[in-house]
């Protein structure tokens, strides 16, 4: 399925987009009013990265940024193509 984290399974969630009108009270107005509520979709921040597997090798996965930051996955290290003799 698209737009789903391959590690934690986080996907899109629904919410409201709230539109307001008016000037805030602390700025000298009479306060803000809600003039409209429409449904919207909150999408997870997915990144396509190469993940290092436990048995060696790497696999390309769609992973949310929270899984990357928490250490749930380990990025594959890019190796140099060759090494010059010293």
> Which pLDDT tens digit goes with each residue over 2-61?
899 999 999 999 999 999 999 999 999 999 999 999 999 999 999 999 999 988 889 999
In a domain, 66, yes or no: yes
User: What are the distances in angstroms from CA 48 to CA 2, 7, 85?
Assistant: 12, 12, 35
In a domain, 32, yes or no: yes
Containing structural domain, residue 56:
13-70
In a domain, 47, yes or no: yes
Q: What total number of domains does the chain contain?
A: 1
pLDDT at 84: 82
In a domain, 63, yes or no: yes
pLDDT at 38: 98
The CATH number of whichever domain residue 59 belongs to comes to 2.30.170
pLDDT at 70: 95
In a domain, 77, yes or no: no
Q: Is the pLDDT of residue 1 over 80?
A: no
Count the Cβ atoms, other than its own, within 10 Å of residue 82.
5
Measured CA to CA, the distance from residue 49 to residue 60 in angstroms comes to 6
Q: Is the pLDDT of residue 64 over 80?
A: yes
């Amino acid at each position: 399925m698209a737009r789903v984290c391959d590690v934690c399974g986080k996907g899109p969630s629904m919410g409201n987009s709230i539109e307001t009108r008016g000037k805030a009270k602390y700025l000298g107005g009479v306060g803000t009013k809600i003039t409209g509520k429409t449904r919207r979709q909150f999408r997870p921040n997915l990144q396509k990265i190469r993940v290092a597997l436990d048995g060696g090798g790497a696999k390309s996965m769609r992973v949310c940024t929270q899984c990357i930051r928490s250490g749930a996955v380990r990025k594959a290290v890019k190796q140099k193509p060759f090494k010059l003799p010293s």
